[in-house]
Structure 1
C-alpha cells in the first residue's frame, strides 16, 4: 500500500517530538528539585534555605566575638575600678584561666564537652584570647582563636582580631572585629564567613547584668554558601541586638550576588525570628531565620 505524505511526515517527526517532551519533563523535574532543595535560582539573590544557613554562620561569629568582648570587659572594669566586677553572661560550667606575662594577659575560655549558655546555645571546646597587659590604654588589640570548638553541634574553625576602644565618638565602648570562620554542620554542609563587623555597646555596660546589654552592629562581610556561591553582606541600617532576646530585633542587611542585590529587614524591634527578604524584582517573602531557636 502506498503511504500518504502525512503518514511519512508523522513517522519522521514523532521521535523528535517525544524526545523533546522527555527533555522538557526532565528539565522541569530538575528545576523543581532545585527550588525544593533551596538552591538559588536566576530570579533570586539568595534562597530562604541558604539565608538560614548564612544567618546561623553569622550568629556563630557574633556570639563568639561577644563572649570575647565580655570576658575582656570584665578584666577592664575590674582592673581599672575600685570594685570587683562580675558578669553573669557565662554560666558556672565555663572555666576561665588567666596567665599574665610581662606584656600580655592570656585567657583560656573552656566550655568543656558542652556548656549551655543562658540564651540556650550549647558550646564546647575553647576560645583563646590574648591582649596587652596595660588595661588603661584607650584602645586595645585582642587576638582570638578557637580550639576544638562547636556551637550547637556545628564545628567551627577560625580566628579574629578585635580592636577594642574604651570610648568611641558617642562615648560608648566599641569593638571592631576582622574575623574569618569556617563552619561544618553535622550533616556535612560547610560554609565560611569573613570580613569586618563593628559592635557598639550602647546600653548596659558595667551593670554586671547581661540581659540589659544592647549593641548596634555595622559592617561588611563575605559569605561562601554550601553550594560554593559567594554573597556579600553589608549592613545598611545598624542591626540592633538586645541580649535579652536571642535574635536581631531591627535593622537592614543587604545581600549581593552576581551584581544583584536583595535586602533583609529584621523588623521593628519585636523579639522574634522573622524577617522580610526582598528580592531585586521587589518580591517580598516573610521568612523564619534559623538562629538556633527552638519552636
Structure 2
C-alpha cells in the first residue's frame, strides 16, 4: 500500500473516532443535565426536597399577604382594633394610601426571623382596594431584593381573597410565578394557581393555631431544566405551627409518568410516601431547609 493512501486512511479513522467521542461526550452532558433520571423515573429524591422547599416559600409569602389583609378586614368589618402576632417587630411596615387603594410595604431588612423560624430579607409589597368590606378583593404582591432562608426569590402573585367561601371560611386563590436561586447559584422556578382555605385559627390573633387546606395545580421547573406538573389529589393540610405538610396527596407528573406523594396521617414530621405507577411504595424524607 502506498504511503499517501495509508496516511489518508489514518486520517479518516481518526476523524471517525473523534466524532464518536464527541457524540459520547454530548450524550453524557445530556444525561448529567437530566438529574440522572431514566425514562420512567419521575423525580429524584434530591429534587423532590428542592421542589418541596419552593412550595414552602410560596405558602409563607402568601400567608404573610393574607394575614396582613385579614387584619385590615377584621378591623374594618368588626369595628375593633385587631392585631395579628404573625409579623415580628423586626419587620418595618409602611402604608401609603391613595383615593381607592392601599399599598403596604413589609421590609424585613437584612434578615428578620418569623415565628416559624424562617429568616426573610428584602421587601414584600402589597396593593389592594382601600375598601375591604366587600366579600372579595384582589391582593397584588411583588418582591424587591427578597430572600427566604438565603434563597433569592423573584416574582409576583395575584391573590383573590374571599371572606367567606361555600364552607363559611376565608380563602385565597393565588396565581403566582416565582424563581428561586439558591446560594450555590442553582435556579428553579414554579408557577400556577393554588386555593388556600383558612379552616382554623382565623381571627384569634395567634399565628400558631392557623390551619389551611390547599388545593390546586402548579408547574415546577427543576435546577436542571426538567419540568414537572404538580397537582393536588387530596387537599394538603398545612398547620402553621409545623413546617411540613401534615396530610394530603400530591400527584407529580413528568413525561407522562406520575407518582403520588402522600404526606401522612397528620403527624408533624418530614416523612412522606411515594407511590409509583406500578403500585410500589417508597418512604421519603422532605427537608424544608432544616435537616
TM range (shorter): 0.7 to 0.9
1:106–1:128 CA contact under 8 A, matched in 2: yes
Match in the other structure for 2:116: 119
Match in the other structure for 2:136: 139
For residues 223-274 of structure 1, what are the alpha-carbon distances to aligned partners after superposition, in whole Å with 9 as ceiling and x for unaligned? Answer: 0001111100000000000111111000000000111111100000000111
From 104, 109, 128, the equivalent of 1:107 is: 104
Q: SS at 1:58's partner residue?
A: helix
Q: Distance in 2 between matches of 1:39 and 1:53?
A: 16
Q: TM-score, normalised by structure 2?
A: 0.88
**How much has 1:34 moved relative to structure 2?**
5.8
Q: How many residue pairs were aligned? A: 267
2:40–2:257 CA contact under 8 A, matched in 1: no
From 166, 170, 174, the equivalent of 2:171 is: 174
2:35–2:224 CA contact under 8 A, matched in 1: no
RMSD: 2.0
Q: SS at 1:169's partner residue?
A: coil
Q: Distance in 1 between matches of 2:93 and 2:70?
A: 14
From 62, 69, 72, the equivalent of 1:72 is: 69
Q: SS at 2:259's partner residue?
A: strand
1:38–1:48 CA contact under 8 A, matched in 2: no
1:38–1:49 CA contact under 8 A, matched in 2: no
Match in the other structure for 1:283: 280
Q: SS at 1:62's partner residue?
A: helix
2:178–2:191 CA contact under 8 A, matched in 1: yes
Q: TM-score, normalised by structure 1?
A: 0.86
**How much has 1:283 moved relative to structure 2?**
2.9
Q: SS at 1:41's partner residue?
A: coil
For residues 68-126 of structure 1, what are the alpha-carbon distances to aligned partners after superposition, in whole Å with 9 as ceiling and x for unaligned? Answer: 00011111111222321111111110111111110001000110000011111000000
Unaligned runs of 5+ in 2: 1-20
Q: Does residue 262 in structure 1 map to residue 249 in structure 2?
A: no
**How much has 1:278 moved relative to structure 2?**
1.7
**How much has 1:39 moved relative to structure 2?**
3.0
Q: Distance in 2 between matches of 1:206 and 1:119?
A: 18
Match in the other structure for 1:86: 83
From 181, 195, 201, the equivalent of 2:198 is: 201
Match in the other structure for 2:4: none
Match in the other structure for 2:236: 239
Q: Distance in 2 between matches of 1:46 and 1:40?
A: 7
Q: Distance in 2 between matches of 1:287 and 1:38?
A: 17
From 212, 218, 221, the equivalent of 1:221 is: 218
For residues 42-79 of structure 1, what are the alpha-carbon distances to aligned partners after superposition, in whole Å with 9 as ceiling and x for unaligned? Answer: 23111111111111111111110111000111111112
From 182, 206, 212, the equivalent of 1:185 is: 182
Q: SS at 1:250's partner residue?
A: strand
